[in-house]
Amino acid sequence: MDTSETIDNKAEQIDVALFPIPNMVSFPGISMPLHVFEPRYRAMIKHSQDNEVMIAVTHTKKMVSKTKKKRISSDSLNQNQSTYEPHKVFSAGYCETIKTTADGRIHVLIKPEIRLKLKAITQQVPFMIATCEQLPDQIINDTQLCTDRMGEINQLLQALCKQQNPELYEIITAPEWLNQTPKDFSFQLFKYFRFEADFMQHVLEQTTVIERLDLIWHGLRQSLEI
């Protein structure tokens, strides 16, 4: 069975709200709890929920503009504030509100479902809206190679966790974990194991399962100095 996605030549254009957060890389299938307090992003949450628009949490490249230190007013929603340039590949999903505090801050859960590639920014203020295309994996018949590499990665993870984190060791030796497809594994691994954000972004951008698994394997070996 091929673990790659089927590429649709007629790529659908998808509009999403962008939530750029430095050092935050989101992967399909891994929910992200966030504490939202800035007025523009609270407005983004409301817009997304009212209009059934997905939110993309994206790692950033650099700060484009810098906010002056002053009291935030309603007019600030119509101005550029501290803005980060987003990476062009990210994951997006719908948002669930968990709690709203008395002063208006929102605790939400973003549930990324799909991986997207940015085509154009169509709105800048009060928050960014981007037109995107889904980024599927290339169709490559490498099932056994992927399965073997996944097994090698699991061996490294188990060796890492057996003494240092017994609870996590139980999770990654359970049948539910070991019986994942290599594709799901190449994303789900980041639910429990974190690397430098630029490295995780590089993994997210790969369009074959084996490329992602090879990067993870080499990254693990390097971090363990094997």
Give the chain's domain count.
2
Query: 62-100: per-residue pLDDT in tens?
Result: 766 555 444 444 444 454 445 679 999 999 999 999 999
126 DSSP assignment:
S
Tell me what pLDDT residue 65 has.
Answer: 59
Which pLDDT score is estimated for 225? 76
Q: What is the pLDDT of residue 10?
A: 58
- Encoded tokens for 17: 């709200």
Collapsing DSSP to helix, strand or coil, 97 comes out as strand
**Predicted local confidence at residue 91, as pLDDT:** 98
Quote the pLDDT of residue 200. 97
Residue 192 and residue 105 in one domain: no
147 and 216 housed in the same domain: yes
Domain that holds residue 27: 13-134
Residue with tokens 């990665």: 153
Sorted by sequence, the CB contacts under 8 Å of residue 214 that are 6+ apart come out as 149
Of the residues 101, 134, 167, the one at which a domain ends: 134
pLDDT of residue 71: 43
Q: How many CB atoms lie within 10 A of CB 183?
A: 20
Does residue 127 share a domain with residue 205?
no
Which run of H or of E encompasses 186?
helix 182-188
Indicate if 18 and 52 belong to the same structural domain. yes
Instruction: Per-residue pLDDT tens, the chain, 226 aa: give them.
Output: 343 444 444 578 999 999 999 999 999 999 999 999 999 999 999 999 999 999 999 999 976 655 544 444 444 445 444 567 999 999 999 999 999 999 999 999 999 999 999 999 999 999 999 999 999 999 888 899 999 999 999 999 999 999 899 999 999 999 999 999 999 999 999 999 999 999 999 999 999 999 999 999 999 998 887 6
Instruction: Specify if 178 maps to a domain.
Output: yes
